Chains A and B, each alone.
Chain A
Amino acid sequence: MITEEDFSIDELVKKMKKPEIGAIVTFLGVVRDEGIRGMEVDVYDEMAEEELEKLERDALKKFEVEAVEIVHRKGSLKVGENIVAILVGAKHRKEAFRACEYLIDELKERVPIWKKELNEKSEQTY
């Protein structure tokens, strides 16, 4: 899901919990202070939503996992703010970790999202 709003990892975890899920692995991407004051996240919304759904379906097929959730923000984000959350629920931890890593790696390759770093002098670099 693409959103401008911030999200709560606790809420996302609560939403994912089910009796058959014994392990929930979460990945949280945050804006890091590397000499930047923030970033602008640009998204090709329609295609990004479709690619995210495809990614979630792929992970459910490829790994022995029960549930997958991806939330990616867009718009202006400051250092320390949440960018992306990926949650994977499975019976056991190994598949949950493997699927979570697969999802963030694939997201960085396939989903049409671009981060533009904004530095102190408001110069921008993609």
Chain B
Amino acid sequence: MKVEVQFFARCREIVGAKQKVLEVEEGMRIKDIIDTLINEYPELKNVKLIVSLNHKYAEQEEKLKDKDEVAVFPPVSGG
């Protein structure tokens, strides 16, 4: 299964990319993707990570499906 992960703000700077496509196994959850990203980019540990799934705020335990869109970002600061 493939999942598109988009990065914003400080996370984009750490990862050095706007988006990545990750290979994901059946049954994998949001937290598994976060663990994978932190392994690859340890500096992400210093950011209060917020995750969305298909444009909605996501819980760590939510399961992923093929072609899901995930986004990883720091707390928002609009307005």
- CB under 8 Å from chain B, chain A span 73-111: 83-84, 104, 107-111
B69 nearest CB across to chain A (Å): 8
Report the bound CA distance from A113 to B76 in whole Å. Answer: 5
B63 nearest CB across to chain A (Å): 20
State the total of A-B contacts with C-beta under 8 angstroms: 59
Q: Majority SS of interface residues in chain A?
A: mixed
A6, CB-defined interface residue at 8 Å: no
B44, CB-defined interface residue at 8 Å: no
A126 touching B77 by the CB < 8 A rule? yes
Q: Which B residues are within 8 Å of any A CB, using their own CB? A: 6, 8-10, 12, 52, 55-56, 71, 73-74, 76-79
Beyond contacts A44-B52, A83-B79, A107-B79: 7 other A-B pairs, Cβ-Cβ < 8 A, are A43-B78, A44-B73, A109-B76, A112-B52, A113-B77, A114-B8, A126-B10
Q: List 23 A-B contacts (CB under 8 A).
A: A42-B12, A43-B78, A44-B6, A44-B8, A44-B52, A47-B52, A47-B55, A48-B78, A72-B79, A108-B77, A108-B79, A110-B76, A112-B8, A112-B52, A112-B71, A112-B78, A113-B78, A113-B79, A114-B73, A114-B76, A114-B78, A115-B77, A116-B9
Which 10 A-B pairs have CB atoms at the shortest separation, nearest pair first?
A113-B78, A114-B9, A47-B55, A108-B79, A107-B79, A115-B77, A111-B78, A126-B10, A114-B77, A50-B55
